């Protein structure tokens, strides 16, 4: 099978979509004859990348490398995929991540919906994302769910990682023996960090005045989070660490007690999956997360953490308090999370599912597309 993969979100740019595209496409390329057209930089030049993708696919790809199947890295590329499908008469599959479906621009949603319905396979990264596709009119028989994965060994903190993280904490003037909970992700409203500080941290600090909440990441919500810290009187209990290299993130997970994902629903935005929860689980951290959108596909109640209603601050407090007060229980949940995640989620498993779907499309195409 000859495969053409097109991705506008790819390393060296950073993000969950970039990581997923890289991990899956690299594994597909190791199993089949694959041509990759990718863009790993600012999306300002996206129109030029789309034109380049069309010209390369139609004019500069030798006939000997014309694909049997075309795979697109996200739903924004669906109109491009439909164009290539009509011209090349080849089946097209696309992955839908979540936010690529929910942009609050009517024309965008109309075009994406029109195109997705006419592609051959739409792969949601979670059950929630797949349901979003169906709600846009994609026929159920064209939809499939394949969860994102993780490379477990990449997220286990080493003694050196832990030491480096401890030194970074000390350099900020923070006592290293404080109980730490943490979040990793872009600072955007749907992550719920500002709400968590005001609604949950204020309650937790009453019982645990030394509790430290470390937030790793950057984004446009930073000022709103800082304002929430001031309103909650939590300036000494919240550390906005910014973007950190991977070994320091691992190290912070090694000295933290709990990973939290306090997402809230935001119109026009969505958490398609929750890959950071898997990474925390690999590090042996219990996860306490909002049970909304795609998160329940990454956090399974009683296996690698606990799901609570996004609007129930008391339930968040109760879950975190239970883990903070019972060290034995916390360690047991962390060890269970590590084992469960390694067994259930991996990029190798995800890529095998992708390969099976694409091979099935190539097989079926023999009856539907003339060569």
Q: What is the pLDDT of residue 366?
A: 67
Same-domain check for residues 177 and 201: yes
Length of the chain: 371
Left, alpha or beta for 284 (phi > 0: left; psi -120 to 50: alpha)?
left
Total of domains in the chain: 2
Contact 308, 319 (CB under 8 A): yes
Same-domain check for residues 114 and 189: no
Same-domain check for residues 181 and 311: yes
Same-domain check for residues 7 and 129: yes
Same-domain check for residues 16 and 91: yes
Per-residue pLDDT of the chain (371 residues; tens, 9 = 90+): 999 999 999 999 888 899 999 999 999 999 999 999 999 999 999 999 999 999 998 877 777 778 999 999 999 999 999 999 999 999 999 999 998 998 878 889 899 999 999 999 999 999 999 999 999 999 999 999 999 999 999 999 999 999 999 999 998 888 878 999 999 999 999 999 999 999 999 999 999 999 999 999 999 999 999 999 999 999 999 999 999 999 999 999 999 999 999 999 998 899 999 999 999 999 999 999 999 999 999 999 989 999 999 999 999 999 999 999 999 999 999 999 999 999 999 999 999 999 999 999 998 876 554 44
Peptide bond before 12: cis, by omega within 30 degrees of 0?
Answer: yes
Element (H, E) at 351: helix 347-368
The structure tokens listed for 16 are 């969950």
Q: State the residue range of the domain holding 304.
A: 152-344
Q: How many other β-carbons are positioned within 10 Å of the β-carbon of residue 331?
A: 14
Helix and strand numbers (H, E) in the chain are: 15, 12
Same-domain check for residues 191 and 100: no
Same-domain check for residues 204 and 316: yes
Same-domain check for residues 59 and 105: yes
Contact 211, 238 (CB under 8 A): no
Q: CA angle at residue 189 from 276 to 232, to 5 degrees?
A: 100
Q: How many other β-carbons are positioned within 10 Å of the β-carbon of residue 358?
A: 25
Same-domain check for residues 181 and 234: yes
Give residue 319's Cα distance to chain centre.
23
DSSP reduced 3-state for 178? coil
From CA 168, how far away is CA 11, in angstroms rounded?
27
């Amino acid at each position: 099978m000859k495969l053409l993969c097109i991705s506008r979100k790819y390393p060296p740019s950073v993000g969950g979509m970039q990581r997923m595209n890289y991990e899956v496409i690299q594994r597909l390329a190791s199993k089949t004859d694959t041509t990759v057209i990718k863009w790993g930089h600012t999306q300002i030049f996206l129109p030029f990348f789309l034109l380049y993708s069309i010209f390369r696919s139609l004019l500069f790809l030798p006939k000997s490398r014309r694909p049997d199947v075309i795979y697109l890295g996200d739903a924004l590329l669906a109109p491009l995929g439909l164009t290539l499908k009509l011209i090349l008469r080849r089946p097209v599959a696309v992955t839908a991540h979540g936010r690529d479906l929910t942009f609050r621009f009517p024309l965008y949603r109309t075009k994406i919906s029109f195109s997705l319905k006419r592609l051959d396979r739409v792969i949601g990264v979670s059950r929630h994302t797949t349901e979003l596709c169906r709600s846009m009119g994609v026929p159920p028989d064209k939809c499939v769910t394949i969860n994102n994965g993780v490379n477990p060994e990449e997220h286990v903190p080493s003694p050196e990682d832990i030491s480096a993280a401890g030194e970074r904490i000390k350099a900020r003037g923070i006592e290293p023996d404080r109980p730490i909970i943490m979040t990793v992700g872009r600072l955007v409203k749907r992550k719920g960090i500002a709400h968590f500080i005001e609604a949950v941290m204020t309650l937790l600090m009453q019982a645990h005045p030394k509790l430290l909440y470390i937030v790793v990441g950057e984004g446009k919500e930073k000022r709103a989070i800082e304002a929430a810290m001031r309103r909650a009187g939590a300036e000494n209990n919240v550390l906005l660490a910014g973007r950190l290299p991977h070994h320091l993130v691992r190290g912070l997970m090694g000295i933290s007690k709990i990973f939290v994902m306090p997402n809230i629903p935001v119109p026009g935005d969505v958490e398609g999956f929750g890959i950071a929860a898997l990474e925390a689980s690999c590090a042996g951290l219990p996860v306490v997360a909002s049970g909304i959108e795609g998160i329940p596909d990454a956090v399974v109640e009683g296996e690698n953490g606990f799901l609570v209603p996004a609007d129930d601050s008391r339930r968040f407090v109760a879950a975190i308090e239970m883990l903070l007060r019972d060290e034995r229980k916390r360690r047991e949940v962390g060890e269970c999370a590590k084992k469960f995640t390694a067994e259930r989620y991996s990029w190798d498993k995800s890529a095998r599912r992708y390969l099976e779907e694409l091979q099935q499309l190539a097989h079926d195409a023999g009856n539907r597309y003339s060569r």
